[in-house]
Amino acid sequence: GPKVLQIPSHQIIDMGQMVTLNCDPVSNHLYFYWYKQILGQQMEFLVNFYNGKVMEKSKLFKDQFSVERPDGSYFTLKIQPTALEDSAVYFCASSSGQNERLFFGHGTKLSVL
């Protein structure tokens, strides 16, 4: 079936550095999402993105976070600078329409030291 690819699967960085998480969504999908998962539970909504713009974001989407999808490239989540509490697994998802089912990637485990 349709797949969402996330690169890399694991990223280790020092606190204060910048990190970019990459997501290759399902082709022809129009809506993109980032979720944060801690300790294998609690899928926390971060942001959704449509037509080149952030549509909604949560309180967890701090000023240090940004998302973009330049034409034909990855949907990215950038954190600059990183903090210890940013350590988590970040999941990218995409959907074909508003409130349609989400297709998730396998996640990127971010470890901030």
Burial of 52 (0-12, 13-18, 19+ CB in 10 A): exposed
Candidate list 65, 86, 107, 112; residue touching other proteins; CB under 8 A? 107
Q: Which residue in this structure is represented by tokens 């973009």?
A: 68
87 belongs to the binding site for other proteins (CB under 8 A): no
Q: CB nearer to other proteins: give 11 or 81.
A: 11
Q: CB nearer to other proteins: give 56 or 85.
A: 56
28 belongs to the binding site for other proteins (CB under 8 A): no
101 belongs to the binding site for other proteins (CB under 8 A): yes
Give the rounded distance of the alpha carbon of 99 from its chain centre.
18
Tell me how far CA of residue 86 lies from CA of 66, 68, 90, 98, 104, in angstroms: 14, 19, 10, 28, 20
74 belongs to the binding site for other proteins (CB under 8 A): no
50 belongs to the binding site for other proteins (CB under 8 A): yes
Instruction: Please give the angle made by the CA atoms of 52, 36 and 25, to the nearest 5 degrees.
Output: 40
Catalog residues that contact other proteins under the rule CB under 8 A.
4, 31, 33, 35, 40-45, 48, 50, 55-56, 58, 91, 93, 98-99, 101-107
